[in-house]
Amino acid sequence: MSEWSGYTGTILEIDLTSRKTFSIKENKEDLRQFLGGFGMNCKLFADRFVPKVDPLSPENFVIIGTGPLVGTITPGASRTVVISKFPATGAIANSCGSMSFGFQMKQAGYDHVIIHGRAEKPSYLLIIDDAVEIRDASKIWGKDIVNSTNFLKKKHGSSGVISIGQAGENLVKGALTLIDNTSTLGRGGLGAILGSKNVKAIVVKGKRGIDIAHPTVFNELYEKFMERVRNYPQRESWLSLGMLRSLPIGMLLSLKGQKTKVKQVSERTYLKKIKARRIACPSCPMADKDILLIKEGEFQGLINYTSSVINPFLMFTLEGLKSHDEAIKAFDLINRYGLDSLTITALLEFLTQMQEKGILTEDITGIKFSTDYKSLERLIKMIAFRKGFGNILAEGWEGLAELNEKIREEMLVIKGLDVVFEPRLLRLGTMEFEQVVNPKGAHIASGGSPTYVGAASSIDKFETHFHRMGIPNDAIKRIFNPPKKDLLIDIGRLTRYSEDWYALLTSLGLCARAQMNRFYNFRLIREIYNSVTGFNLSEDEFRRTAERSWNLLKILNMKEGFSRKNDKFPSNWFKPLRYGKLTLEIKDFTGETRITEELAIELLDNYYDERGWDKENGLPTTSKLKQLNLERYLT
């Protein structure tokens, strides 16, 4: 067994201002405490953290990490995790993406890359094994993400590339990045942070390989795992349809009164008219990413890379869009500029509604908004290039809210980000609840739990699923003892363990999507981790790493001024929602019990209680931090 198994043992630090790079040796005890990826990102950031720094200043850190299973053949181990202070929210948070960057970073010999300072001129970072360069990016500055990434891959060969678009260059606060033109990374403004540092892209490649501590044990676990995958009855369906198999876009369109569109998002339409082929991250046996091709019409020949066809299909819910081709074209434009399709969709709907209500007038905006393709295209360009009213919108929801108080009241945002999971439509499960308590605010990532829409039919399987997530028996009893008798479970208490499960997967570098997540369980990922690293963590030690990471992340945000006052349920959630011809109320995930503001607050109390935090301020107690060996971070 080599000195470092699973890990490279090395952190790369890049000071853009001085143009100096440093290699730092990792501490094995830190890795036992935080695992890697998500957890070590929190540790490394906390060690360097200065409160109240401007997210777009040279002093803000960007830390890119990946887990000990990435770079091995562990199925679905490809996650890249980035922590920073995000400009759209002011919060410190981790964002995740996939594709080849994490794999290439490990092969180059690094578990984490720390970036700070500001380059004197537009640059890109080139990391090839021990060779680290800050290179001139003048040829790609001003170009979109796809053109920039293609240029860099052609120049440097097979590699992992994180790139920003024009939105990042123009410091649009919600700008994100793409990995390999496909996987989004950094909702909340990573693109703007890199833009503020004059970093157009990060290119990494390597050929070193990763040692495994106990290869015989690992191979046995791997073969058993792959046998389950190969024998999974739904595998061919997943391979054929990807995420389209799990999210009924047609149902959403029907509920919204757009039944004429349903055929355009059907499985048949996807397979016959849109799908070019599926692509996979390194080591993934499920190939859940999409290459889309518009085969006819005005946008014929357009090729779009995406983590799922679901992304443009969700944009198709905009009433004014007439065809899926328009949705794909708009989505492609959003990706190229480095914007967030979820935010752009929500923003256009909101702006249109505000003008119809007379709250936002054409005198203020300079244009008339509607939800058709031309308006969508115009909005995208206005924001990406900060043109006219787009300069206000580029400041995020907070910039728009400053126009008048009525606009702020009408917004559906959590901590500066538009709501992704609407509980009046999807009901209140852990994904919807976690938007409120997560430091980042509303976001798409989730560790999963059995509280998805339609899960009421599988209540008898809940306890089995809880054990799969590694929830202790005493906690399961508390989860099955909700504050109201007609609730089946306590969503607040369960959310704590959904977060911990997500933290474990992300710290290891494992995919959290349903296609892969379904094959993993707490026992198995611990066994794989121990076989790869040789650390031999017990169940309690392994479980504690996730809890430690979440508590440290909470401390960082506490120092930024975040507390229970920021963990707010949007008041609009407790009002009826008009969705097509339906009027919807917020209910628990079974659809049986209405969630009142009072009940929501009680569930929030229980979340804090389950974390061992102070219910009055929503922050970790000193005793909890001592228990986790984190009290030194309070000073």
Q: Tell whether 169 and 287 lie within a shared domain.
A: no
What 3-state DSSP class applies to 624? helix
Q: Tell whether 407 and 454 lie within a shared domain.
A: no
Q: What is the CATH number of the domain that holds 569?
A: 1.10.599.10
Q: Tell whether 374 and 341 lie within a shared domain.
A: yes
The C-alpha atoms of residue 403 and residue 392 are separated, in whole angstroms, by 9
Handedness of CA 301, 306, 309, 315 (dihedral sign): negative
Q: Per-residue pLDDT tens for 192-235?
A: 999 999 999 999 999 999 999 999 999 999 999 999 999 999 99
At 127, give phi and psi (nearest 5°): -120, 110
What is the mean predicted confidence (pLDDT) over 589-595? 90
Confidence of residue 457 (pLDDT cuts 50, 70, 90): low
Indicate whether 383 pLDDT > 70. Answer: yes
Q: Tell whether 320 and 248 lie within a shared domain.
A: yes
Answer yes or no: are the C-beta atoms of 328 and 300 closer than 8 Å.
no
> Is residue 485 domain-resident?
yes
Place of tokens 């640059």: 123
Q: What is the CATH number of the domain that holds 323?
A: 1.10.569.10
Domain boundary among 364, 387, 411: 411
Q: Per-residue pLDDT tens for 397-422?
A: 999 999 999 999 999 999 999 999 99
Q: What is the CATH number of the domain that holds 140?
A: 3.60.9.10
The C-alpha atoms of residue 180 and residue 81 are separated, in whole angstroms, by 15
> Is residue 198 domain-resident?
yes
Indicate whether 125 pLDDT > 80. Answer: yes
Q: Per-residue pLDDT tens for 147-180?
A: 999 999 999 999 999 999 999 999 999 999 999 9
- The domain of 57 spans 10-205
> Is residue 318 domain-resident?
yes
Q: Per-residue pLDDT tens for 46-89?
A: 999 999 999 999 999 999 999 999 999 999 999 999 999 999 99
Q: What would you report as the CA-atom Rg of the chain, rounded to the nearest whole angstrom?
A: 23
Confidence of residue 1 (pLDDT cuts 50, 70, 90): low
Nearest by Cα to 428 from 270, 602, 282, 191: 602
Ranges of H-type helices in 427-537: 430-437, 462-468, 473-479, 491-508, 514-517, 522-533
Nearest by Cα to 514 from 76, 42, 187, 94: 76
Domain boundary among 358, 384, 411: 411
Answer yes or no: are the C-beta atoms of 152 and 164 closer than 8 Å.
no
Q: Tell whether 469 and 609 lie within a shared domain.
A: yes
Dihedral, CA atoms, 512, 517, 523, 525, nearest 10 degrees?
A: -50
Q: What is the mean pLDDT of the chain?
A: 94
> Is residue 216 domain-resident?
no
Nearest by Cα to 286 from 30, 511, 460: 511
Confidence of residue 447 (pLDDT cuts 50, 70, 90): low
Indicate whether 601 pLDDT > 60. Answer: yes
| Burial of 118: CB neighbours in 10 Å, binned 0-12, 13-18, 19+ | middle
Indicate whether 485 pLDDT > 90. Answer: no
Indicate whether 325 pLDDT > 70. Answer: yes
Tokens matching residue 106: 């490990």
Helix (H) or strand (E) holding 250: helix 249-255
Domain boundary among 360, 386, 411: 411
Q: Tell whether 426 and 365 lie within a shared domain.
A: no
Q: Tell whether 32 and 124 lie within a shared domain.
A: yes
Task: Give the total number of structural domains in the chain.
Answer: 3
> Is residue 4 domain-resident?
no
Q: Tell whether 262 and 300 lie within a shared domain.
A: yes
Instruction: Write down the pTM of the prediction.
Output: 0.96
Dump the DSSP string for 258-285: -GGGGGGGSHHHIIIIIEEEEE--TT-S
Indicate whether 302 pLDDT > 90. Answer: yes
Place of tokens 């229980």: 606
**What is the distance in angstroms between the CA of the first residue and the CA of the last residue of the chain?**
39
b/e per residue, 443-467, with b = 16+ CB within 10 A?
bebbbbbbbbbebeeeeeebeebbe
CA dist 572 to 28, 112, 419, 585, Å? Answer: 47, 41, 11, 10
**What pLDDT was estimated at residue 178?**
98
Indicate whether 455 pLDDT > 60. Answer: no
CA dist 64 to 14, 116, 307, 488, Å? Answer: 11, 12, 20, 40
Q: Tell whether 405 and 425 lie within a shared domain.
A: no
> Is residue 213 domain-resident?
no
Q: Tell whether 23 and 140 lie within a shared domain.
A: yes
Q: How many CB atoms neighbour CB 560 within 10 A?
A: 18
Answer yes or no: are the C-beta atoms of 586 and 594 closer than 8 Å.
yes
Tokens matching residue 547: 């809890």
Residues with Cβ within 8 Å of residue 326, at least 6 apart in sequence: 299, 373, 376
> Is residue 210 domain-resident?
no
CA dist 24 to 107, 220, 326, 488, 510, Å? Answer: 17, 34, 48, 49, 25
Which has the minimum average pLDDT: 111-115, 294-298, 548-552?
Answer: 294-298
What is the mean predicted confidence (pLDDT) over 78-104? 97
> Is residue 238 domain-resident?
yes
Amino acid at 615: K
Tokens matching residue 152: 């860099």
Confidence of residue 248 (pLDDT cuts 50, 70, 90): confident
Q: Tell whether 379 and 252 lie within a shared domain.
A: yes
Portion of the chain with pLDDT greater than 70, in percent? 98
Q: Tell whether 25 and 69 lie within a shared domain.
A: yes
b/e per residue, 227-245, with b = 16+ CB within 10 A?
eebeebeeeeebbebbbbb
**What pLDDT was estimated at residue 453?**
59
Residues with Cβ within 8 Å of residue 43, at least 6 apart in sequence: 30, 33, 34, 552
Which has the minimum average pLDDT: 40-49, 390-399, 584-593?
Answer: 584-593
Handedness of CA 609, 540, 525, 65 (dihedral sign): positive
What is the mean predicted confidence (pLDDT) over 465-486? 94
Residues with Cβ within 8 Å of residue 17, at least 6 apart in sequence: 58, 116, 117, 118, 119
